[in-house]
Amino acid sequence: MGTDVIVAGAGPAGLMLAAELTLAGAEVVVVDRAPERSGQSRALNLQPRSVEVFALRGLLEPVLDRAQAKVRDGHFFGQTLSYTELDTDHPYQLVIPQADTELILEARLAELGVKVRFGQELTALEQDEDGVSATVNGEVIRAKYLVGCDGGRSAVRKLAGIGFPGTDGHGWGVVADVVVATGDPSVRSDWSSMRDVLPKRSASENGFGGMIPLGRPGLYRLVFGDLTSPLPDRAAPITDEEFQAGLRRFYGSLEVSEVRWRSRFTDAARQAERYRAGRVLLAGDAAHIHFPVGGQGLNLGIQDAMNLGWKLAAVLKGHSTISLLDTYESERHPVAARVLDTTRTHSLLAQPENAGARRLFADLAVLPAANHHLANMVSGLDIRYPMTGSPHRLLGTRFRGLRLPEGQGLLLSDDPRNRDLARHWEPRLTVAPDISTLPSPYGAGVLVRPDGYICWVEGDEPLKHALHTWFGAP
């Protein structure tokens, strides 16, 4: 059996990547070791940039249909971060269980003719100059490329010999979906701000916790933990005694009648030393893990997939050289590294000896400029990829309010010479017939990549160079 790409792992990153590749005309096989989709809520949010990504691909409507709340802020070490002034059409987080996000992406993939192969475990791989041979449930599948989206314990990463340096976990946490008595006055049944769900006790008391409504009567996401105490054995089951002690610590006499599922996590932070080894690549948690505070992990993986998909497809189609694929790591590795830095900061601030730093941070975080900076960072809206050319303030930033449902690039220019030139790259990009409605910040014209980022601004370097760089040969 042969294909263009094997995607190992059918979580949000793997599904988004498979959809992007298929949209661009690549043949994809998606395998996942789980016998079926778990249905567990896991991650709970889409940050503003990920909401923009779903809108970019015409997927926002089904997301909104399943979303349980719009939350107008984020948080950083217990300090709320206002999203209302951010430069976006979507200044909010969408509360949507990971299981629902996966269902939406899997449905899109099915529309494109690809079905996930559950119960299929990748156990070996060999690669040569022409491709990769992966052993899946004893069957050898031949592909031109293999992408590991198979989580923090990624088999693909280990088999490819890619190091995973970082810091071990020193603190711990427990996450669970629980049912409590409907109408219990100690917890809210709805929410629109992080202030509504942050725990009653402060992080300075060496613990963290939260109780988040999950959109159904009595159903909540419970999170609690401690970043200063010795790390329990992560492989050990969470006993009823441990669970009840954590519940009492933050919510007193709150009665839990049912625990749907529960799991342990740590504040370990690791990142793959490289995102590509020959014809094997990594995305999502296979490439980076971190303390899940702030709700950034799922969003980081979705945006890895958006960055990689169109580039890998362009190389597969022969439109671009391998140098385009190299930009995946150069653009995404620093983004994940910064997320790891921010989540490590949470752990550092929680330590008892850093009480002075906590007080200083609390003072700074409420200042409008500092709060806005942190909000842009956590929301994913401030990402700016390095681009060649003059340091125009728009170059490398996202084009807001855009829809590219077919996954092409886009040229907006009022210069007929630029439009005539760009048509040699159709249908890999669309030449807009009218830019009269172009928002004023974008000036006379821009070239936008399939992932929604601006790679050329009118008046900058010649358009031809940018077209060749990002869209390959005409």
Once rounded to an integer, what is the mean pLDDT over residues 32-40? 88
Q: If pLDDT is split at 50, 70 and 90, which confidence band does 187 have?
A: confident
Measure the CA–CA gap between 67 and 23, rounded to whole angstroms.
25
Q: Give the model's pLDDT for residue 182.
A: 64
Last residue of a domain, one of 289, 320, 348: 348
**What are the tens digits of pLDDT across the range 290-320?**
998 888 999 999 999 999 999 999 999 999 9
Q: If pLDDT is split at 50, 70 and 90, which confidence band does 391 have?
A: confident
In the predicted structure, residue 50 carries a pLDDT above the cut 70: yes
Where is mean pLDDT largest: 2-16, 188-202, 209-223?
2-16
178, 302: one domain: no
- CB count in 10 Å sphere of residue 443: 15
Q: Give the model's pLDDT for residue 241.
A: 87
Q: Give the model's pLDDT for residue 116.
A: 97
20, 140: one domain: yes
Q: Give the model's pLDDT for residue 346.
A: 87
SS3 readout for 371-398: HHHHHHHHHCCCCCCCCCCCCCCCCCCE
Measure the CA–CA gap between 254 and 186, rounded to whole angstroms.
7
**What are the tens digits of pLDDT across the range 8-35?**
999 999 999 999 999 999 999 999 999 9
The verdict on residue 312 lying in a domain is yes
In the predicted structure, residue 126 carries a pLDDT above the cut 70: yes
- Give the position of tokens 């006379």: 444
The verdict on residue 247 lying in a domain is yes
| Residue type present at position 421 | L
Q: Give the model's pLDDT for residue 441.
A: 63
Once rounded to an integer, what is the mean pLDDT over residues 151-157? 97
Residues 46, 96: contact at Cβ < 8 Å?
yes
| Lowest mean per-residue pLDDT among 242-246, 261-265, 358-362 | 242-246
Angle at the Cα of 369 from the Cα atoms of 267 and 363, rounded to 5 degrees: 60
Last residue of a domain, one of 238, 266, 294: 266
**Which whole-number Å values give the CA distances from 291 to 77, 171, 260, 285, 358, in the listed order?**
12, 9, 22, 12, 18
413, 471: one domain: yes
Once rounded to an integer, what is the mean pLDDT over residues 124-147? 97
- Owning domain of residue 103: 2-38+97-166+270-348
In the predicted structure, residue 204 carries a pLDDT above the cut 80: no
Using a pLDDT cut of 90, give the percent of the chain over it: 67
| Residue type present at position 465 | H
Nearest Cα neighbor of 24 from 308, 385, 246, 236 is: 308
**What are the tens digits of pLDDT across the range 221-255?**
888 888 888 776 777 888 888 888 888 888 877 88
17, 137: one domain: yes
Q: Give the model's pLDDT for residue 183.
A: 64
| Lowest mean per-residue pLDDT among 4-18, 23-37, 39-53, 106-120 | 39-53
Once rounded to an integer, what is the mean pLDDT over residues 417-445? 81
- CB count in 10 Å sphere of residue 235: 6
257, 278: one domain: no
Using a pLDDT cut of 70, give the percent of the chain over it: 95
Q: Give the model's pLDDT for residue 203.
A: 44
The verdict on residue 249 lying in a domain is yes
Measure the CA–CA gap between 343 and 360, rounded to whole angstroms.
18
Measure the CA–CA gap between 45 and 58, rounded to whole angstroms.
18
Q: Give the model's pLDDT for residue 202.
A: 44
In the predicted structure, residue 463 carries a pLDDT above the cut 70: yes
| 124 DSSP β-pair partners | 135
**Which whole-number Å values give the CA distances from 433 to 343, 362, 430, 436, 466, in the listed order?**
45, 50, 9, 9, 20
The verdict on residue 404 lying in a domain is yes
Measure the CA–CA gap between 378 and 49, rounded to whole angstroms.
10
Q: If pLDDT is split at 50, 70 and 90, which confidence band does 184 have?
A: low
257, 323: one domain: no
| 82 DSSP β-pair partners | 73
176, 125: one domain: no
In the predicted structure, residue 440 carries a pLDDT above the cut 60: no
| Residue type present at position 95 | V
The verdict on residue 130 lying in a domain is yes
The verdict on residue 91 lying in a domain is no
Residues 292, 210: contact at Cβ < 8 Å?
no
Last residue of a domain, one of 213, 244, 266: 266
Q: If pLDDT is split at 50, 70 and 90, which confidence band does 200 have?
A: low
Those residues with Cβ within 8 angstroms of residue 103's Cβ, 6 or more apart along the chain or in another chain: 37, 66
Residue scoring higher pLDDT (437 or 139): 139
261, 277: one domain: no
205, 290: one domain: no
155, 179: one domain: no
The verdict on residue 353 lying in a domain is no
- Across the chain, mean pLDDT equals 91
Measure the CA–CA gap between 93 and 69, rounded to whole angstroms.
8
Once rounded to an integer, what is the mean pLDDT over residues 190-210? 71
**Which whole-number Å values give the CA distances from 417 to 422, 431, 434, 463, in the listed order?**
9, 12, 14, 10
Domain tally for the chain?
Answer: 3
Measure the CA–CA gap between 149 and 282, rounded to whole angstroms.
6
- The tokens describing 325, both together, are 């694929």
Measure the CA–CA gap between 263 and 173, rounded to whole angstroms.
9
Q: Give the model's pLDDT for residue 215.
A: 81
